[in-house]
């Protein structure tokens, strides 16, 4: 898959840009957005330079998809069998 097709899968919902906690192999979403996320457009304000501007930002590649970081209905992971869907903290 080329770069454009890979990027085109993103629906620009911004949900993966909220802070997360990883505990005992499971990812939990908090309600705190990344300070680089524009809450009106749901877009990253530093996208092209995000890995330098925000070192904690996790690049999405085939290796990171399996970590359970993205919401279960995100197009990047929706077709992964037995995907380890992250939880919202208030779900617990």
Please, which residues have CB within 8 angstroms of residue 8's CB and are 6 or more apart in sequence? none
DSSP H or E segment with residue 52: helix 50-53
Q: Which of 13, 78, 88, 89 binds ligand SF4 (CB under 6 A)?
A: 13
Nearest approach in angstroms of CB 54 to ligand SF4 is 4
Q: How is the chain split among helix, strand and coil, in percent rounded to 5?
A: 25, 20, 55
Q: Which two tokens stand for residue 59?
A: 């690049």
Tell me how far, at minimum, the Cβ of 37 lies from ligand SF4, in Å. 4
Site map for ligand SF4, 21-60, x if CB under 6 A?
Answer: -------------x-xx------x-x---x---x--x---
Binding site for ligand SF4 (CB under 6 A): 10-17, 34, 36-37, 44, 46, 50, 54, 57, 70-71, 74-76
């Amino acid at each position: 898959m080329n770069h454009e097709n890979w990027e085109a899968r993103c629906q620009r919902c911004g949900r993966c840009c909220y802070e997360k906690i990883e505990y005992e192999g499971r990812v939990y979403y908090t309600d705190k957005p990344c300070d680089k996320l524009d809450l009106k457009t749901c877009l990253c304000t530093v996208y092209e330079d995000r890995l330098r501007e925000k070192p904690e930002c996790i690049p999405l590649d085939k290796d990171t998809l399996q970590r359970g970081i993205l919401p279960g209905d995100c197009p990047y992971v929706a077709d992964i069998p037995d995907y380890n869907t992250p939880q919202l903290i208030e779900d617990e």
